Amino acid sequence: MENLGPLIKYLVIGNPISHSKSPQMQNAAFLYYNLGEPYGKIKLEPEDLPEFVAFARKHLMGFNITVPYKELIIPLLDEIDESARQASSVNTVLITNGKLKGFSTDGYGLEQAIKNNFKIDIVNNSFLFIGVGGAAQAVAWHFAKSGAKKLFLANRTIEKAELLAKKIRHAYPNVEIITFKNDDKNQLSIAIKSANTLIQATSLGLKPNDINPFDFELLKLNPQITVIDLIYHQTSLLAFAENNNITYACGKDMLVYQGARAFFIWTKLSPPINLMSQALEI
């Protein structure tokens, strides 16, 4: 950690980390405000986390957390924002006078991406999640808090969806939550007919030979549905949407808006969204 250099004040931590484009995105925002390029990245092993946190207290102003540490970081923090606590997921830490406060900006990021691409608000609308891993859980909590009417949670491991549903229902009894397996065509058909947006939140689609996370043909049941894939590039789902005139978006805007929210938490400056988005193309 010593070889990071004194100019680094912000980091993204994870494992793997070499693929992360957060440094170029965040540094574009810092440069816009003439604040240099203070954002770096570092790969950590799980046993390095306590040492990293001790280092961060002394030398950093904030950091982002990506897979697999969004939950593991929590016991090492001094304070945690309510929505991050509910979701057991922290992707942003603000350091003030050596104290670490955790936030989750993934839900905000997807909310803004859906607004930006589809002009759909969260409040009073219905969302179908395919996959309820870490990212989807943070988003589902945020959507429940933001007044979503109905959440459909489809997952390969049904127990995970049911546990999430139970916790969210307890905290937000007004949100209707329906769970099923992602290969249950009957339930999927019902959900697709009623949801405003389908959120593809499995990791399927990252590799070219991945199987499809659900039967895409069912999307034809609702030509008005909008589809967003959390994966950053064009997946087979998005290609299907394109070929069938279904409105869609990839995960890029979510990445930009979750990062923009982190930038605001650290600096209280208005994030230059377009510059941050352009920086990801480099």
Residue 271 binds ligand NAP, judged by CB under 6 A: no
* Short-list 22, 32, 109, 2, CA closest to 62: 22
By beta-carbon proximity to ligand NAP, the closer residue of 25 and 192 is: 25
Q: Which of 93, 136, 165, 175 binds ligand NAP (CB under 6 A)?
A: 136
By beta-carbon proximity to ligand NAP, the closer residue of 38 and 109 is: 109
Residue 109 binds ligand NAP, judged by CB under 6 A: yes
Instruction: Render 172-207 in DSSP notation, one character per residue.
Output: -TTSEEEEE-TT-HHHHHHHHHH-SEEEE-SSTTSS
Instruction: Please state the closest distance from residue 123 (CB atom) to ligand NAP, in A.
Output: 22
Q: Which of 53, 87, 144, 231 binds ligand NAP (CB under 6 A)?
A: 231
Contact 248, 229 (CB under 8 A): yes
Residue 134 binds ligand NAP, judged by CB under 6 A: yes
Of 56-64, 156-164, 170-178, 184-192: span binding ligand NAP (CB under 6 A): 156-164
* Helices 106-118, 252-267: crossing angle, 10 deg rounding: 130
Instruction: Please state the closest distance from residue 32 (CB atom) to ligand NAP, in A.
Output: 21
Cα separation, 84 vs 137, whole angstroms: 10
Q: Roughly how many angstroms between the first and final C-alpha of the chain, as a whole number?
A: 26
Whether 268 is catalytic is no
Residue tagged active-site, from 41, 70, 101, 167: 70
Query: Hey, how many other C-beta atoms are within 10 angstroms of the C-beta on 109?
Result: 27
Query: Hey, how many other C-beta atoms are within 10 angstroms of the C-beta on 35?
Result: 14
> 279 exposed, middle or buried (CB, 10 Å; 0-12, 13-18, 19+)?
buried
Number of residues that bind ligand NAP (CB under 6 A): 26
Q: Which of 44, 254, 276, 279 binds ligand NAP (CB under 6 A)?
A: 254
Q: Which residues lie near ligand NAP (CB under 6 A)?
A: 67, 106, 109, 131-136, 155-157, 160, 201-204, 206, 213, 230-232, 251, 254-255, 258
Catalytic residues, which ones? Answer: 70
